[in-house]
Structure 1
Amino acid sequence: MYNGGYLISQIHKLTGRKINELLKEASVSEFNSSQGIILSSLWAKGEQTIKEIGKTTGLAKTSLSSMLDRMEGQNLIQKIENKEDGRSTIIKLTEKSKALEKVYQNITDEMVVQYYNGFSEEEIRAFESTLERVVRNLEGKN
């Protein structure tokens, strides 16, 4: 029996736990690993609509909306009206969250080191290529 789905789920859970541990070690209490996914999208691409963040992060709109509400309350993001489309809201970083980017980048760099400990470059490329195929299969783009 194949157990790739289970292993991917385990990697996801362990990654979240480890990132939360590393955030705590770095004395970052402003956000957690789940919120870090949203912040990473904003750090990488700048301000975005909720729909764009959903596409980038893979988070469902209902989960994303409640997370964004909490993040706004924590002064990590700011919601502003989209002047081009009044039906959507633009999410942008605050100075507080901008100041946390480098710490989070160091944590994600550490995670990459842990993920690929003992892997050759060729193994990393093959592994990531296989994961990309799984994603395409699940998205129906195969």
Structure 2
Amino acid sequence: MKYNGGFLISRIKQVHGRLLNNFLSCKNVRAFNAEQGRILHILWAKENISIKELSVQTGLAINTLTVMLERMEQTGLIYKKSDERDRRKTLINLTEYAYSLKKEYSLISEEITEIFYKDFSDNEVEQFEIYLMRILKNLENVNNCKK
């Protein structure tokens, strides 16, 4: 039997990103894109986090994240500061402007979630998310190439 889970997850991610960007555009939210929304989503939940922690939470490589954070800083969404306990560490925080965008992003996210789970029962959604968490855990636990 041929399994297509990885391919389907990749396609879902692509389509989800395009749909989110489309919704943002339709709602005239031009301050950030879908990928930056992923960063904002984490920072709305917890600020004052290091780039390394943000990388882990978003699943973005540090070099990719660094470029995105530079753009977000230029557009006034975030600011960086040195950790008072460890000056080598840079902490990321949101601006008031970024906080002002949270409600609109949440509404768009809810709309997409409704589309995502259309025709699913509550039980199916719960079970599906359990499966996704298991897949994520499996993938995160692999750190070496198999030979």
| SS across alignment from 2:92 | strand
Further displaced range: 1-10 or 51-60 = 51-60
Q: CA deviation at 1:53?
A: 0.8
| SS across alignment from 1:28 | coil
Residue type at the aligned position of 2:121: S
Moved >3 Å (runs of 4+): none
Q: Which residue of 2 aligns with 1:108?
A: 109
| SS across alignment from 1:124 | helix
Q: Which residue of 2 aligns with 1:35?
A: 36
| SS across alignment from 1:78 | strand
| SS across alignment from 1:90 | strand
Please give the TM-score of this superposition, normalised by the length of structure 1: 0.96
Residue type at the aligned position of 2:130: S
Aligned residues: 141
Residue type at the aligned position of 1:6: F
Q: CA deviation at 1:133?
A: 1.0
C-alpha separation in 1, matches of 2:27 and 2:85: 39
C-alpha separation in 1, matches of 2:100 and 2:133: 32
1:3 maps to 2:4: yes
Q: Which residue of 2 aligns with 1:94?
A: 95
C-alpha separation in 2, matches of 1:99 and 1:43: 11
Q: Which residue of 2 aligns with 1:57?
A: 58
C-alpha separation in 2, matches of 1:94 and 1:28: 16
Residues 55-106 of structure 1 deviation map (CA, whole Å, 9 limit, x = unaligned): 1111110000000011001111001111111111011101111100000000
For structure 2, the 5+ residue unaligned runs are: 143-147
1:45 maps to 2:46: yes
C-alpha separation in 1, matches of 2:23 and 2:100: 17
User: Identical aligned pairs, as a percentage?
Assistant: 44
Q: Which residue of 2 aligns with 1:22?
A: 23
C-alpha separation in 2, matches of 1:140 and 1:19: 29
| SS across alignment from 2:88 | coil
C-alpha separation in 2, matches of 1:127 and 1:94: 35
Q: Which residue of 2 aligns with 1:81?
A: 82
For structure 1, the 5+ residue unaligned runs are: none
Q: CA deviation at 1:41?
A: 0.5
1:13 maps to 2:14: yes
Residue type at the aligned position of 1:131: L
